[in-house]
């Protein structure tokens, strides 16, 4: 490409369970819940974003005319601004603010975009079109060393890991092809037909790159996260006990979906391994205060403070009332205030049976690990994990004051 082609293509692909306790005497497997739906991926197209005035003076701007669909008329992007910050080492951080409008005529479930390499335009595996990068005099310049940075000032522009998407998902006009896509991309919430959503993209240019005009190519797609409901992501039950690591029990909730979820009407419930869930005992039943949990965010419910142990560092989002079993028990997140009948009951959003005990129930084939004075349970390898099999989805770990995450903790974007 010549220096005149510096437009950046932005891909338009914006985009539980309980069963009743058994009467057997040994730990009894409960029925397995339905597997989580597989993440679906739908390619939407390729787009190009151009930026100019990005020289060593770090005065940058994004031209709206430079952002245009190359292929599918499903999304319309409007650049609303760009921030350029020069770091101490001379590198520059760019944050481009965009409005994304769904013009496809149908809802897009999980609009997501990922930087892409285009054959014939790529330089050294970066996500810039080589020939499209020029200095202020219009001469070509190196565009290597571009990195993506997480944008933390927007709830909806999380950088998320990209899986299940390849260059083959995208068609490129003019006979070129997408040779690679980035391992990370950005998301916005579900876009209804005709709806507009603000989003922002962040990236860094090293000091060694003096590009004045450059382009960034994106593939847009619709990829729905695998888990479509809130999960109990971490829990601790020995709070306040003698020699306990912490002075409170807690339950941490997480939103692995692409949309804001309200806890209105939901309840947290606890029962011993053999016990039934009830609603008339505050140690076993806590109606959640209404809160909105953004995509990738946590909600921390601290239980009553006891005598022994350290204080959880994260400020609790809610003060709960439950008294969890220190080693063994069952915790359910219910969609309403009705006592949970078991792991596959219709009002169960998520359910964790942990440890052992007669008649203990759980999701899947076995319970999550037993906890202890110093051990808590959490989803692994990430809070995104929920295959509805407690033994496979959760691990125990040595809990510390800093283990629990709250609504201001670093968000986790789920693949
Ligand atoms: Ca589950």
Cα(334) to centroid of ligand 1, in Å?
11
Q: Do 244 and 180 belong together in one domain?
A: no
Cα(54) to centroid of ligand 1, in Å?
47
Q: Do 247 and 378 belong together in one domain?
A: yes
Give the gyration radius of the chain's Cα atoms. Answer: 25
Q: Do 73 and 163 belong together in one domain?
A: yes
For tokens 């998301």, name the residue.
187
Cα(154) to centroid of ligand 1, in Å?
28
Tell me whether residue 19 is in a domain. Answer: no
Cα(257) to centroid of ligand 1, in Å?
13
Cα(263) to centroid of ligand 1, in Å?
16
Q: Which of 178, 196, 223 is the last residue in one of the domains?
A: 223
> How confident is the model at residue 25, as a pLDDT?
34
Q: Do 173 and 319 belong together in one domain?
A: no
Tell me whether residue 410 is in a domain. Answer: no
Task: Please tell me the number of Cα atoms within 13 Å of 122 on its side-chain side.
Answer: 18
Q: What is the pLDDT along the chain (415 residues), one digit of tens a residue?
A: 222 222 222 222 222 223 333 333 333 333 333 333 444 567 777 777 777 765 444 334 444 433 444 445 577 888 887 778 888 887 778 787 888 888 888 888 888 888 776 654 444 444 544 335 666 676 666 555 566 666 655 555 667 777 777 777 766 555 556 777 777 788 887 888 999 988 888 777 777 766 666 767 777 888 778 899 999 999 999 999 999 999 999 999 999 988 889 999 999 999 999 999 999 999 999 999 999 998 889 999 999 999 999 999 999 999 999 999 999 999 999 999 999 999 999 999 999 999 999 999 999 999 999 999 999 999 999 999 999 999 999 999 999 999 999 999 988 888 7
Length of the chain: 415
> How confident is the model at residue 82, as a pLDDT?
78
Cα(144) to centroid of ligand 1, in Å?
43
Q: Do 213 and 252 belong together in one domain?
A: no
Tell me whether residue 31 is in a domain. Answer: no
Q: Do 130 and 149 belong together in one domain?
A: yes
Q: Do 192 and 247 belong together in one domain?
A: no
Q: Which of 223, 245, 279 is the last residue in one of the domains?
A: 223
Evaluate whether 251 touches 301 at the Cβ level (below 8 Å). Answer: yes
Cα(378) to centroid of ligand 1, in Å?
12
Q: Do 214 and 258 belong together in one domain?
A: no
Cα(386) to centroid of ligand 1, in Å?
5
Tell me whether residue 13 is in a domain. Answer: no
Tell me whether residue 23 is in a domain. Answer: no
Tell me whether residue 161 is in a domain. Answer: yes
Cα(220) to centroid of ligand 1, in Å?
30
Smallest CA-to-CA distance from 415 within 114, 75, 72 is with 114
Q: Which residues constitute the domain of residue 170?
A: 41-223
Cα(181) to centroid of ligand 1, in Å?
31
Evaluate whether 403 touches 397 at the Cβ level (below 8 Å). Answer: yes
Q: CA–CA separation, 373 vs 350, rounded Å?
A: 24
Cα(131) to centroid of ligand 1, in Å?
49
Cα(402) to centroid of ligand 1, in Å?
25
Cα(363) to centroid of ligand 1, in Å?
7
Question: Per the structure, how many domains does the chain have?
Answer: 2
Partners of 93 in the beta sheet?
Answer: 85, 204
> How confident is the model at residue 126, as a pLDDT?
46
Tell me whether residue 138 is in a domain. Answer: yes
Q: Do 56 and 189 belong together in one domain?
A: yes
Tell me whether residue 411 is in a domain. Answer: no
Q: Do 361 and 278 belong together in one domain?
A: yes
> How confident is the model at residue 216, as a pLDDT?
73
Q: Which of 223, 246, 266 is the last residue in one of the domains?
A: 223
Supply the DSSP symbol for 308: B
Q: Do 77 and 215 belong together in one domain?
A: yes
Q: Do 283 and 201 belong together in one domain?
A: no
Cα(342) to centroid of ligand 1, in Å?
12
């Amino acid at each position: 490409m010549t220096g005149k082609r510096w437009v950046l293509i932005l891909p338009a692909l914006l985009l539980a369970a309980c069963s009743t306790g058994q009467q057997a005497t040994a730990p009894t497997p409960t029925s397995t819940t339905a597997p989580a739906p597989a993440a679906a991926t739908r390619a939407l197209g390729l787009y190009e974003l151009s930026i100019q005035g990005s020289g060593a003076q770090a005065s940058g701007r994004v031209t709206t005319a430079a952002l245009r669909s190359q292929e599918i008329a499903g999304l319309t992007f409007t650049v609303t601004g760009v921030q350029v910050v020069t770091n101490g080492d001379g590198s520059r951080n760019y944050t481009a603010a965009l409005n994304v409008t769904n013009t496809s005529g149908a809802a897009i479930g999980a609009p997501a975009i990922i930087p892409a390499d285009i054959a014939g335009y790529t330089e050294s595996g970066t996500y810039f079109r080589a020939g499209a990068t020029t200095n202020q005099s219009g001469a070509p310049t190196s565009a290597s060393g571009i990195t993506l940075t997480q944008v933390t000032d927007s709830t909806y522009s999380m950088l998320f890991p990209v899986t299940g998407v390849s260059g083959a998902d995208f068609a490129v006009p003019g006979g070129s092809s997408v040779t690679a896509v980035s391992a990370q991309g950005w998301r916005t919430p579900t876009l209804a037909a005709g709806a507009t959503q603000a989003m922002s993209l962040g990236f860094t240019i090293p000091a060694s790159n003096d590009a004045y005009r450059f382009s960034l190519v994106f593939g847009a797609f619709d990829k729905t996260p695998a888990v479509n409901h809130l999960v109990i992501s971490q829990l601790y039950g020995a709070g306040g006990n003698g020699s306990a690591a912490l002075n409170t029990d807690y339950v941490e909730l997480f939103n692995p979906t692409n949309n804001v979820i309200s806890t209105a009407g939901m309840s947290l419930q606890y029962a011993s391994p053999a016990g039934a869930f009830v609603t008339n005992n505050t140690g076993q039943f806590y109606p959640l205060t209404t809160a909105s949990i953004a995509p990738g965010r946590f909600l921390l419910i601290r239980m009553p403070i006891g005598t022994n142990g350290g204080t959880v560092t994260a400020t609790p989002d809610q003060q709960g009332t439950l008294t969890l079993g220190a080693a063994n028990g069952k915790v359910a997140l219910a969609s309403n205030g009705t006592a949970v009948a078991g792991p596959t009951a219709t009002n169960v959003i998520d359910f964790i049976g942990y440890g052992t005990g007669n008649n203990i129930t759980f999701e899947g084939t076995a319970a999550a690990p037993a906890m202890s004075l110093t051990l808590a349970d959490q989803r692994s390898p990430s809070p995104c994990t929920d295959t509805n099999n407690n033994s496979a989805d959760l691990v125990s770990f040595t809990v510390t004051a800093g283990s629990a995450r709250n609504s201001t903790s670093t968000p986790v974007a789920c693949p």
